[in-house]
Structure 1
Amino acid sequence: MGLAIILLSFLTHFTTSNAMDVHLLRPFSGIGDHPVTGVSCDSWRFAVETNNMRGWLTVPPTCENYIGNYMIGGHYRNDSAVVNAEAMKYVAGLELGSDGKDVWIFDIDETSLSNLPYYAHHGFGVEAYNDTSFNAWVRKSRAPALPESLKLYKRLMSLGIKVIFLSGRSEDTREATACNLKRVGYHTWEKLILRRNGDKSLAVMYKSGVRKTLVKQGYEIVGNIGDQWSDILGSPEGDRTFKLPDPMYYLS
């Protein structure tokens, strides 16, 4: 079932059960001021995506409806498609090695898989996330693929570029994560790397450390894609990095 169909079923249910206004998908231009900066929600999102706004914890309350409409409407998908198109152009010009060690790193949440059904249910602001409800969602293995990322994955596989999934998900979700990936079309991979249970290191240190290990093992990281800046910052980044949009949360 595609992302659009899954979201439609979620939104139909919530619209008929008096859910928050964001689920009604009313046109929202981004007006409404951020409570600290006083700028529009659209400008706040721009600052987030350019990594000028750092260390924030949740979407500002005045911007929750705007972010919900951005994510569920066509704008988010269009922005993701632009990133994917650039990745495809880059892939088309790659000169690959003959040792079979060329790899592309994919983040999972909001990169390979979309958790929009979860957020459509829980909202996009301060009340949206808690470990218990999100882990329960992960263990259902029902997250749809982000279509643009799946398209890129299939192209890479056709060229013989191996894929490594590198996620901040914990090791105890391995079975559910692998099941989810395969169910939506990511049928094979070189490695699925998850955090050790109890690892509390910063995401940027954890992921850059994994990439260092991969390079030491002889892999050539030809590409790296994620929704968080912490997915792609920190040496070695890879030959080329791609940042997908995600104004729902920030991981450092």
Structure 2
Amino acid sequence: MWPVGFLPLLLLVAIWVTQSQSSPPPLTHQIHLLRPLSGSAGEAVYGLSCLSWRLGVETHNVIGWSTIPGKCEGYVGHYMLGHQYRADSKVDVWIFDTDETSLSNLPYYARHGFGVEKYNSTLFNAWVEEGKAPALPETLRLYKKLQSLGIKPVFITGRTEDQRNVTKSNLLRAGYHSWEKLVLKASSYPTAVAYKSSQREQIEKSGYRIIGNIGDQWSDLLGSHAGNRTFKLPDPMYYIS
């Protein structure tokens, strides 16, 4: 038989233990002591409201704020210290075509005509080897803006693997720096659509998420694994299928 007054005390202890197990730990001064958790684990502890708030911030639906909601400090701390933040920071890439997208070959066409004459691979490859193609200013501006947002650039070009060194040096000379990948054609494909679709597929299989894709040819943008958004630049000089 329980002593008088013991049962109420036992009940209070049980309630306290239950609450302490289900409630998040105190938030004050604990950010540096947080155990690294993934975003999903933090969601389970702190609830969907904080995940919704973070989504609103990332999509610019929540603007003009200066501090995070107090109740979300623990969730944000767990996210920032956990694996999910690192994973989210690594995966976003933007695909850039090279010729007539990132680099402009207008100096070449000014000398040899704007698409009236049939394409001369010998003359064009000689121009490529000079490594002097300037950046298309608008693309370079986009490139730098995306980098400032933490999005990693990936170049997929129809240039062949033997032109890697000159293409790399030309991109650097034109102002493009710190890209994630530079993909050149190492084997033959039936079409440019097939080639670029295949390379984008490989990029996604490597764990990246293609959030944007820009090029001057429809073959840069059509096919599979094109990305969340595609952007066609003007180019009335030639057509690549």
TM-score under structure 1 normalisation? 0.60
Q: CA deviation at 1:235?
A: 1.1
- Equivalent residue for 1:23? none
Q: Distance in 1 between matches of 2:201 and 2:175?
A: 28
- Equivalent residue for 1:205? 194
SS of the residue corresponding to residue 100 of structure 1 reads helix
- Equivalent residue for 1:178? 168
Q: CA deviation at 1:129?
A: 2.7
Q: Distance in 1 between matches of 2:189 and 2:121?
A: 14
Q: 1:149 aligns with which of 139, 144, 148?
A: 139
- Equivalent residue for 2:219? 230
Q: Distance in 1 between matches of 2:112 and 2:118?
A: 5
Q: CA deviation at 1:199?
A: 1.6
Q: Which runs of 5+ in 1 are unaligned?
A: 1-91
Write the deviation string for residues 178-226 of structure 1: whole angstroms up to 9, x where unpaired. 0000001001210000001x52430000001111111111100010000
- Equivalent residue for 2:80? none
Contact 1:119 1:128 (C-alpha < 8 Å) held by counterparts: no
Contact 1:227 1:244 (C-alpha < 8 Å) held by counterparts: yes
Q: Radius of gyration: which is bigger? A: 2
Q: Distance in 1 between matches of 2:168 and 2:60?
A: 28
SS of the residue corresponding to residue 88 of structure 2 reads coil
Write the deviation string for residues 158-194 of structure 1: whole angstroms up to 9, x where unpaired. 1111000000000000001000000010012100000
Q: Distance in 2 between matches of 1:191 and 1:145?
A: 18
Q: Distance in 2 between matches of 1:105 and 1:141?
A: 21
- Is structure 2 residue 239 aligned with structure 1 residue 250? yes
Q: Which runs of 5+ in 2 are unaligned?
A: 1-57, 62-84
| Aligned residues: CA RMSD | 1.9
AA in 2 matched with 1:250: Y
The sequence identity of aligned pairs, in percent, is 63
Q: Distance in 2 between matches of 1:184 and 1:94?
A: 32
Q: 2:123 aligns with which of 112, 115, 133?
A: 133
Q: How many residues align?
A: 160
SS of the residue corresponding to residue 99 of structure 2 reads coil
Contact 1:215 1:221 (C-alpha < 8 Å) held by counterparts: yes
AA in 1 matched with 2:95: I
Q: How does 1:61-72 map to 2 (within 5 A)?
A: none
- Is structure 2 residue 207 aligned with structure 1 residue 218? yes
Q: Distance in 1 between matches of 2:88 and 2:158?
A: 31
Closer, same or farther in 2 for the Cα pair 1:199/1:213, shift >3 Å?
same
Contact 2:89 2:150 (C-alpha < 8 Å) held by counterparts: no
Contact 2:155 2:181 (C-alpha < 8 Å) held by counterparts: yes
SS of the residue corresponding to residue 231 of structure 2 reads strand
- Equivalent residue for 1:191? 181
Q: CA deviation at 1:125?
A: 3.2
- Equivalent residue for 2:107? 117
AA in 2 matched with 1:210: Q
Q: Distance in 1 between matches of 2:170 and 2:113?
A: 23
Q: Distance in 1 between matches of 2:143 and 2:224?
A: 23
